[in-house]
Chain A
Amino acid sequence: MMAQEHAHSSAVERLLNCAVPLRAQYIRVLFREITRISNHSLALTTHAMDVRASTPFLWAFEEREKLLEFYERVSGARMHANFIRPGGVAQDLSLGLCRDIDSSTQQFASRIDELEEMSTGNRIWKQRLVDIGTVTAQQAKDWGFSGVMLRGRVCWDSRRAAPYDVHDQSDPDVPVGTRGDRYDRYCIRIEEMRQSVRIIVQCLNQMPSGMIKADDRKLCPPSRC
């Protein structure tokens, strides 16, 4: 998905010392956060499905359908988009896409609320998740965790600590857990979904016009017309 493409492209650009145009960076961050929401909704609700709470799974996948539609509009493929490439992104956003993303994010917070209503306060859910799968801070650092598994105990967010693209322009709150168990990681993911919605709205508001690929013809092929 786009997160992996982003990581690969950033590594290539850093090795080649290539600069990415600003509009491309905003598009990347936008789709990175859309990917984050999509991945978190998959992770949380398939986790719920494994615990046999079957309803959040179907509700979240309905939301995911809308996000996969955005992927398809921008790249042609629903999941393996091949959109973020070294030097920028493959094509510019289509007309009306930003408006549609905006109207989708406006209702998304209510959907996250619905998911939370089903699970967060539920005593059966808590009994299955609290104090299960605890990862201590030392274990997380030893094993090289860097995402939500690390944020169960340690306050570290790669977007803040080592910002790439335009993440230093947006200002999300970083949720951190206290116990490092499954319940904390569940709450962190829910909160990160909400923060991603914030970042998406900021990106849409701040997106400049300009080029979407670096000018280096050895790195990025010319756009097809």
Chain B
Amino acid sequence: MYIAVPAEILGIILPLLLGVAFLVLAERKVMAFVQRRKGPDVVGSFGLLQPLADGLKLILKEPISPSSANFSLFRMAPVATFMLSLVAWAVVPFDYGMVLSDSNIGLLYLFAISSLGVYGIITAGRSSNSKYAFLGALRSAAQMVSYEVSIGLILITVLICVGPRNSSEIVMAQKQIWSGIPLFPVLVMFLISCLAETNRAPFDLPEAEAELVAGYNVEYSSMGSALFFLGEYANMILMSGPCTSLSPGGWPPILDLPIFKKIPGSIWFSIKVILFLFLYIWVRAAFPRYRYDQLMGLGRKVFLPLSLARVVPVSGVLVTFQWLP
């Protein structure tokens, strides 16, 4: 047991880190193909060694910090952000029983970790002791918190339909039909709220270069900004993970055919996560950015009432027809 758990942890974290590195490359390539050009393809064949080159460059750069920055907090903020996005993977099910921690409060844990992520950003902005960083951090924090409420309500909607179970059982409960199909508007709202939660386009004003000079991570160089960057992409994959578990059904294959059962469940999970990540990148390539007041207006005036308006009828219908699990 003392060997199995660290081995499991490494088995999650190492592929995740590789995934994050190649997600960065994938984003650049996918966006490039949308824009009728090729992405990086010089470094390796098809640019596959590009993440290695980028990582090496960032590690070897000189770390510069503002002289008036609060030293220990300044260093700890990116570490905290990256750590939180890795830690939340403890409750994501890859296959039946293949979860690091199969607890009943799995979703609540995920929600708590994403709320803690806001601390990393506020710490980064405040400890940089710089105007733009502070503004960016405040904006980003406010945005994340607003959309987290909507995520929470949507999770409640799905949980009501599925029943209080642990992470693997939530996926198993979708055996007959994926919960994304009857709850399709909920899936759409969840996707958009995840985009806003992870500060991704079109909700990425807090880290816009043109408008806010890269926001809360403007004062970071080399490893600090690398960790923020990796943390953002790890967050993206993290948000796609539960998205896949809750809605299109997680690890079981698309149709219940024996040939599909030969492929292990974790491969199906990865395929679905990759589809969601492709959607994230596609949205970034296609849409312009929201202005900050429009962004917050959308979160507070549209998504919050809409998510509330989903919880009430769904629970009403379930109670009326005695369909509560």
Contact = CB atoms under 8 A, between A and B. Distances in A.
Nearest to B35: A58
A106 interface: no
Contact of B287 (A50, A53, A57, A62): A53
Contacts of B201: 52
Given A50-B210, A62-B36, A124-B202, A55 B285 contact: yes
A16 B291 CA distance: 53
Contact of B288 (A58, A59, A62, A124): A124
B18 to A, nearest CB: 27
Nearest to A52: B289
A122 B290 contact: no
Nearest to A127: B294
A173 B34 CA distance: 33
Query: Which of A52, A53, A57, A127 has its CB near the most chain B CB atoms (within 10 A)?
Result: A52
A118 B210 CA distance: 21
B287 A124 contact: yes
Contacts of A122: 287-288
Nearest to B31: A54
Given A50-B210, A124-B202, A59 B287 contact: no
Given A52-B201, A52-B289, A54-B285, A59 B210 contact: no
B92 to A, nearest CB: 31
Interface residues of B, number: 18
Given A124-B202, A127-B294, A48 B288 contact: yes
A73 interface: no
Nearest to B288: A53
Contact of B290 (A55, A58, A62, A127): A127
A125 interface: yes
Contacts of A11: none
Contacts of A52: 201-202, 204, 208, 210, 288-289
A51 interface: yes
A128 interface: yes
Contact of B35 (A55, A119, A124, A125): A55
B37 interface: yes
B98 interface: no
B286 interface: yes
A26 to B, nearest CB: 33
A166 to B, nearest CB: 35
Nearest to A119: B288
Contact of A59 (B35, B289, B294): B35
Contacts of B34: 55
A204 to B, nearest CB: 27
B201 to A, nearest CB: 7
Contacts of B294: 127-128
A38 B294 CA distance: 32
Interface in B31-73: 31, 34-37
Contacts of A50: 210
A158 B208 CA distance: 39
Nearest to A48: B288
B190 to A, nearest CB: 19
Contacts of B210: 50, 52
A67 to B, nearest CB: 16
A125 B291 CA distance: 10
A125 B36 contact: no
Interface string A9-35: 000000000000000000000000000
Interface in B160-203: 201-202
Contacts of A127: 290-291, 294
Given A58-B36, A58-B37, A59-B35, A51 B289 contact: yes
Nearest to B210: A50
Query: Which of A48, A51, A128 has its CB near the most chain B CB atoms (within 10 A)?
Result: A51
A57 B285 CA distance: 11
Given A50-B210, A52-B208, A52-B210, A125 B288 contact: yes
Interface string A181-223: 0000000000000000000000000000000000000000000
Nearest to B287: A124
Nearest to B297: A127
A118 B283 CA distance: 11
Nearest to A118: B286
Interface in A96-131: 118-119, 122, 124-125, 127-128
- Closest 10 A/B residue pairs (Cβ): A53-B288, A58-B35, A52-B289, A51-B288, A124-B288, A55-B35, A127-B294, A55-B285, A125-B288, A124-B287
5 contacts: A50-B210, A52-B204, A52-B288, A128-B288, A128-B291
